[in-house]
Structure 1
């Protein structure tokens, strides 16, 4: 197996997919990934493969920054893009990746300045609900 210019292993498409699925399960949970996989249709199969290979297999597996930092960046991107459903999922992931509630709060405060107060307001509502749900789950 070769190495890319970035010093990463040169993997086959299948190996990248498998690595992505491993990270996806670790970050989002087996339950989440199992639900996503159960919902795959002929129409969505290529998209699910794409996100497993590229988002999770190519990006989340890179050694340059840790998962906590990737979660912080992802939370900001979700707020900036107004991707509220994805934000909820990634608040859960951020907790799984070790971000504290105070760190999540600080990230959302930062988005108020750079993304907009209305966007941060929505993000705080979503994050508060996700954190309450996590508390309820124990």
Structure 2
């Protein structure tokens, strides 16, 4: 695995968007089977493309969500909803994106997006259990 400034920047962005479980936990638990894809995701996706000038992280998150809804990637929608919230996308913007998606992607795709959004936004609005709320 190539670890350079792109890798470090990508890992930092993954951490900011998805927390340790989407950053260190992912790359530290690679295998010979998936180590190259983790490098590609960390270095190229998040260390390079996501950090280019021209679009801020909030806009990139909205675009990513729209493409994931369009391609029916429910698992990735849930992951990127968390990242979108971390990047400042509001619940209202997510609702409008999901509603708008039915025009171009169809009702089933929009409904998958709405289900994922409801799950993630409901979970993020719930207070943390007492034992977790003391962690910083």
TM-score by length of 2: 0.86
Question: CA distance change for structure 1 residues 137 and 32 in 2, over 3 Å: closer, same or farther?
Answer: farther
Instruction: Compare 97-106 and 12-21 and name the one that shifted more.
Output: 12-21
Secondary structure of the residue that 2:4 maps to in structure 1? Answer: helix
Unaligned runs of 5+ in 2: 129-136
Which residue of structure 2 lines up, in the alignment, with residue 93 of structure 1?
83
Are the equivalent residues in 1 in contact too, given 2:11–2:47 (CA < 8 A)? Answer: yes
Q: Superposition pairs for residues 1-138 of structure 1, below 5 Å? A: 14-138=4-128
- Partners of 1:52 and 1:115 lie apart in 2 by 29
- Partners of 1:59 and 1:35 lie apart in 2 by 22
Task: Tell me the alpha carbon deviations over residues 11-64 of structure 1, each in whole angstroms, 9 at most, x when there is no partner.
Answer: x97111111111111122223213312431111111100111111011111111
TM-score by length of 1: 0.85
- Partners of 1:109 and 1:80 lie apart in 2 by 12
Runs ≥4 residues deviating over 2 A: none
- Partners of 1:122 and 1:98 lie apart in 2 by 22
Instruction: Compare 21-30 and 106-115 and name the one that shifted more.
Output: 21-30
- Partners of 1:50 and 1:137 lie apart in 2 by 35
- Partners of 1:57 and 1:42 lie apart in 2 by 22
- Partners of 1:136 and 1:32 lie apart in 2 by 20
